[in-house]
């Protein structure tokens, strides 16, 4: 059974590995310069954690926690003071007007503080400030902390961050249930929780959410986030061991390899565990999970054995709220992670200090028996035997994905270097398929790469294999559709494209591809792209587009295909002069 020291050692080990995995994330990035700001955030947070998570007198431990709260107060003041100058997208007209009215400093031209990031700062620090206000004995100190709570609470309101509000409510409910449990009132907690659940369900049924702009988009946003999480999870599997790189690397990689698009629309994965996996690899994710488990284990033993003060509860509830917010968003990975880790350190320091001040408790003497170690070894060997092939295929795919990403996205490479990188990527994907020919990530990445290189005959079977296992992933669906389209199988491509969540956007994308190929002097691919777009909605009588398709077939030397489209125009518009003249020129 683990005690305070065991959980504290787990926290220290997890934090050390977490920092090291951030360094590895810089190596994995296609452009290390994009990773350096986030590396500084992670290392600063780790340093603050180690500075705060020490056994010391309770008064000094509370002082460390107060520093975390004071940092949150300064951030709240900056957010309020600059709200009107930072062009925040209004989530509510009333809150936007309040924010404009209380902007009390001229534009300082400081860093942009996104509302969700501001909310993540406040989640870590506001509960500590509230605990400080309730526990100070001197009236002046209590008033100062009450003022800090009011300022931070107002800033949290201005953020209009629904995810942060939900996380704060859930953390508060956890604290309330803990208090009831300490007093032996589990039944009251269950009744209260059930009542709140019934009220929430009734509200979903009877309330007209369209009358509340801030809440009306909550369900569509949740569905959108679900798709982002799923696509990010598929992307993480491509870079399973190393991640795709720390910092601002996600946007381009997600756009290019998950959406098969050019316009970047998403900056992060909106989920903290996924963001850590993508940024710092499997080692970083494991360290993060160990950190979280050890922290809450430390909280549990502290609450049970040490009778800590209210400031400790404020600190650990702040960490809980920040981590819950991370499940629906990942603002910590946009800059505020350092304060979350500092809060975690403050809570750990308060726990160790409370344990040192408490009367000594008997320590468990029972040690794990040899049978436990044997079971662990057997399970590990069995797991390795079962997962050896997919694990090895995932490793080769990971190396191929890194090579492909660097070849296509790294700045400053020559054409020869990019070609060499793509050749290396294909070799790694081929090795993955030699180990496991059904591994979906390798089939999809190699198939999409061959599609972009024009080898459609090789791409199609690879992408068909991938789609059988990744039927809900746009990169597999869209990739196979494009391979069909550009090999002249327009009707088959149209069927595949209609499996996408937004077929209309795909139709427009095909027209854009056609214009791109036209500018590149590739008329056959232009015709194939536009023909696939037409096949998606065959009842539309767009004779102007039909004429353009026919012209591209003529330019490509495909006279029979051109004739078919000209005849289609004449079937709808008998005597159409352009089509009639073109058919006469084509002859028999």
Domain contains 337: yes
Residue 276, classed as helix, strand or coil, is helix
Domain contains 299: yes
Rounded CA-CA distance 371/368 in Å is: 8
| Percent of the residues in the chain that have a pLDDT greater than 90, as a whole number | 56
Asked if 43 and 22 touch (Cβ cutoff 8 Å), the reply is yes
Q: What is the pLDDT of residue 38?
A: 93
Q: What is the pLDDT of residue 104?
A: 85
Domain contains 248: yes
Mean pLDDT of 557-579: 90
Q: What is the pLDDT of residue 426?
A: 97
Whether pLDDT at 201 is above 50: no
Domain count within the chain: 1
Q: What is the pLDDT of residue 584?
A: 85
Whether pLDDT at 216 is above 60: no
Mean pLDDT of 64-73: 94
Asked if 363 and 62 touch (Cβ cutoff 8 Å), the reply is no
Across 16-30, 164-178, 308-322, which has the greatest mean pLDDT?
Answer: 16-30
Asked if 526 and 561 touch (Cβ cutoff 8 Å), the reply is no
Least confident span in 199-203, 238-242, 285-289, 443-447: 199-203
Whether pLDDT at 205 is above 60: no
Domain contains 298: yes
Domain contains 73: yes
Higher pLDDT, 366 or 236: 236
Rounded CA-CA distance 170/232 in Å is: 25
Domain hosting 236: range is 4-88+113-182+232-357
Domain contains 475: no
Mean pLDDT of 564-574: 90
Whether pLDDT at 209 is above 50: no
Domain contains 568: no
Asked if 47 and 387 touch (Cβ cutoff 8 Å), the reply is no
Q: What is the pLDDT of residue 198?
A: 53
DSSP 499: T
Across 210-219, 256-265, 401-410, which has the greatest mean pLDDT?
Answer: 401-410
Buried b (16+ CB within 10 A) or exposed e, 77-96: bbbbbbbbbbebebbbeebb
Rounded CA-CA distance 410/427 in Å is: 19
Q: Characterise 482 by phi-psi region: left (phi > 0), alpha (psi -120 to 50), beta (else).
A: alpha
Q: How many CB atoms lie within 10 A of CB 153?
A: 15
Q: Give the dihedral sign, CA 514/515/517/522.
A: positive
Domain contains 507: no
Mean pLDDT of 410-417: 94
Mean pLDDT of 47-74: 90
Q: What is the pLDDT of residue 122?
A: 93
Q: What is the pLDDT of residue 127?
A: 94
Segment 82-127, tens digit of pLDDT: 988 886 655 557 777 888 888 888 888 888 888 888 999 999 999 9
Rounded CA-CA distance 300/13 in Å is: 19
Q: What is the pLDDT of residue 88?
A: 65
Segment 348-405, tens digit of pLDDT: 999 888 776 655 555 555 555 566 556 667 666 666 666 788 889 999 999 999 999 9
């Amino acid at each position: 059974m683990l005690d305070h020291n065991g959980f504290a050692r787990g926290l220290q080990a997890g934090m050390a590995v977490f920092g090291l995995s951030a360094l590895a994330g810089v190596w994995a990035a296609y452009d290390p310069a994009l990773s350096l700001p986030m590396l500084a955030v992670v290392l600063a947070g780790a340093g603050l954690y180690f500075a705060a998570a020490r056994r010391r007198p309770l008064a000094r431990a509370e002082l460390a926690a107060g520093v975390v709260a004071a940092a949150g107060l300064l951030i709240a003041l900056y957010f309020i003071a600059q709200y009107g100058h930072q062009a925040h997208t209004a989530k509510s007209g009333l809150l936007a007007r309040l924010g404009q009215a209380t902007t009390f400093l001229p534009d300082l031209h400081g860093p942009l503080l996104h509302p969700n990031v501001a909310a993540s700062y406040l989640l870590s620090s506001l509960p500590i400030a509230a605990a400080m206000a309730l526990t100070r004995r001197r009236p002046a100190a209590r008033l100062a902390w009450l003022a800090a709570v009011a300022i931070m609470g107002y800033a949290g309101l201005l953020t209009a961050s629904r995810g942060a509000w939900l996380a704060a409510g859930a953390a508060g409910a956890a604290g309330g249930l803990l208090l009831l449990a300490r007093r032996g009132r589990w039944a009251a907690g269950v009744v209260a929780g059930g009542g709140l659940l019934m009220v929430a369900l009734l509200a979903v049924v009877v309330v007209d959410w369209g009358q509340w702009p801030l809440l009306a988009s909550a369900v569509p946003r949740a569905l959108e986030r679900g798709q982002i999480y799923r696509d990010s999870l598929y992307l993480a599997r491509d870079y399973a061991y190393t991640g795709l790189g720390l910092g601002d690397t996600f946007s381009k990689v997600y756009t290019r390899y998950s959406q098969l698009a050019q316009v970047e629309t998403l900056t992060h994965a909106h989920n903290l565990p996924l963001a850590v996996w993508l940024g710092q690899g499997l080692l970083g994710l494991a360290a993060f999970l160990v950190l979280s488990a050890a922290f809450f284990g430390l909280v549990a033993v502290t609450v049970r054995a040490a009778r800590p003060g209210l400031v400790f509860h404020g600190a650990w509830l702040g960490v809980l709220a920040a981590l819950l917010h991370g499940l629906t968003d990942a603002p910590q990975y946009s800059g505020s992670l350092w304060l979350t880790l500092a809060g975690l350190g403050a809570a750990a320091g308060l726990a160790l200090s409370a344990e040192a001040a408490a009367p000594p408790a008997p320590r468990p003497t029972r040690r794990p028996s040899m049978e436990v170690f044997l079971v662990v070894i057997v399970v590990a060997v069995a797991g390795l035997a079962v997962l050896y092939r997919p694990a090895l295929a995932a490793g080769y795919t990971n190396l191929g994905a890194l090579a492909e990403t660097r070849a296509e996205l790294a700045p400053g490479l020559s054409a020869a270097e990019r070609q060499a990188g793509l050749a290396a990527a294909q070799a790694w994907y081929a090795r993955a398929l030699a180990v496991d020919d059904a591994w979906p990530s390798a089939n999809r990445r190699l198939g999409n790469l061959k599609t972009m290189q024009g080898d459609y005959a090789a791409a199609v079977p690879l992408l068909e294999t991938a789609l059988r296992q990744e039927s809900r992933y746009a990169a597999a669906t869209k990739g196979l559709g494009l391979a069909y389209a550009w090999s002249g199988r327009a009707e088959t491509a149209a069927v595949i494209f209609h499996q996408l969540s937004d077929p209309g956007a795909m139709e427009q994308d095909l027209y854009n591809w056609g214009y791109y190929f036209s500018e590149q002097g590739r008329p056959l691919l232009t015709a194939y792209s536009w023909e696939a777009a037409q096949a998606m909605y065959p009842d539309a009588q767009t004779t102007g587009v039909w004429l353009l398709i026919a012209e591209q077939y003529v330019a490509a030397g495909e006279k029979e295909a051109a004739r078919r489209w000209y005849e289609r125009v004449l079937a709808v518009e008998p005597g159409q002069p352009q089509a009639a003249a073109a058919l006469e020129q084509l002859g028999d």
